[in-house]
Amino acid sequence: MIDILSRAGCFVAIIFLGMILRRIGFFKREDFNLLSKIVIRITLPAAIVTNLSGREFEYSLFVLIAIGFAFGVVLMTAGYFLNHRRGNEDRAFGVLNMSGVNVSNFVLPFAQGFLGPEGVLAVSLFDVGNGVICLGGAYCVADMVKEKQKRFSMMPVLRALGKSVPLVTYVIMFTLCMLHIRLPEPVADLAGIIGSANPFLAMLMLGVGFQIDKSRVPEVLRILVPRYLTGLAFAALCWFLLPVPAVYRQTLVIPFLGPVSSAVPAFTAQLKGDYELSSAINSFSILISVVLIIIALLIIL
């Protein structure tokens, strides 16, 4: 227990470090975008390469991809019906801001630090399905809701997903694993050096971008309370019913408690929605998820 709390405390300390460095002027708000690009396009793909290189896994584990996708669909549906008495803009906002989990920048570093290679594999498989939702799928559905479109087109979704470096890296690495192809050792070593920086940079980035507007707490909780209740329900179902080894069932508890995807505020802005409320939801979800995941780790490990 002491070891878990110590490691978790280090993660929280790095988030606070980012907050302090921004407050004293070392970082500016726009630096969040630069750190995000470094994490998403460099250190995170390297971490994925490192953790999946040479891995072998059973095809039955691909059910974790379906679970990640199904969780996103359920959250989008809940976001829609929670706002069914409101206007199309509010329904679209609910669909977008309820959906997706920040696996890449938040959950995966926890998996790296606490759950080992099997945990990283499970989280990575979950994130493939989750990525379809949070990297384009939810935005397209929200846009369709806002504009009252009845026909859904996959092309915008596929174009958005094709631009996601982490998702493309997942696909490439899973393909290599299935073909039993190992990366050259120098490539794997380089990825290991770069990927080891991912937990630190991801947590620092979250601290730099962290912001809370206390006046909007009721609006934030209207989105986050049902979201986390849904996550807890999914976690319980997978823990007791999913027919996979215990280590993977343990790991799946973590992404269900993860924060809202970091891409959601940007997508909300593209929809001309309430970007400030979306940012507040994102920041509050980080705070809540830190607490819930630490409690979950103390229970499952």
Structure-model confidence comparison of residues 213 and 71, the more confident one? 71
Beta bridge partners of 101: 260
Q: What pLDDT does residue 160 have?
A: 67
**Residue range 67-88: average pLDDT?**
90
Q: What pLDDT does residue 166 have?
A: 79
Q: How far apart are CA 150 and CA 225, in angstroms?
A: 29
Sign of the four-CA dihedral 138, 143, 145, 149: negative
Owner of token pair 């009845």: 150
**Residue range 67-83: average pLDDT?**
93
Banded pLDDT at 231 (limits 50, 70, 90): very high
**Residue range 210-234: average pLDDT?**
89
Identify which of 260, 286, 199 has the alpha carbon closest to the alpha carbon of residue 14.
Answer: 199
Structure-model confidence comparison of residues 2 and 274, the more confident one? 274
**Residue range 64-75: average pLDDT?**
94
Beta bridge partners of 48: none
Beta bridge partners of 260: 101
Task: Provide the residue type at 300 as one letter.
Answer: I
Select the CATH number that applies to the domain covering 2-300 from these four: 3.20.20.140, 1.10.10.10, 2.30.30.100, 1.20.1530.20: 1.20.1530.20
Banded pLDDT at 153 (limits 50, 70, 90): low
Q: What pLDDT does residue 4 have?
A: 66
Sketch the domain layout of the chain as residue ranges.
2-300
Q: What pLDDT does residue 224 have?
A: 94
Least confident of 146-150, 222-226, 233-237, 284-288: 146-150
**155: which DSSP letter?**
H
Q: What pLDDT does residue 182 have?
A: 87
**Residue range 85-97: average pLDDT?**
87
Q: What pLDDT does residue 157 have?
A: 66
E strands in 95-171: none
Tokens for 293? 């995941």
Banded pLDDT at 89 (limits 50, 70, 90): confident
Show Cβ contacts of residue 93 under 8 Å, excluding neighbours closer than 6 positions. 79, 83, 142, 268, 271, 273, 274, 277, 278
155-214 residue pLDDT tens = 766 776 777 787 788 888 888 888 888 888 899 899 999 988 888 888 888 788 877 777
Residue 272 backbone zone (phi > 0: left; psi -120 to 50: alpha; other: beta):
left
- The reported pTM is 0.82
User: Are 260 and 220 within 8 A, CB to CB?
Assistant: no
Residue 136 backbone zone (phi > 0: left; psi -120 to 50: alpha; other: beta):
left
Residue 31: pLDDT over 90: no
Q: What distance lies between CA 111 and its chain's CA centroid?
A: 12
Q: How far apart are CA 77 and CA 92, in angstroms?
A: 11
Banded pLDDT at 132 (limits 50, 70, 90): confident
Banded pLDDT at 292 (limits 50, 70, 90): very high
Element (H, E) at 96: helix 88-98
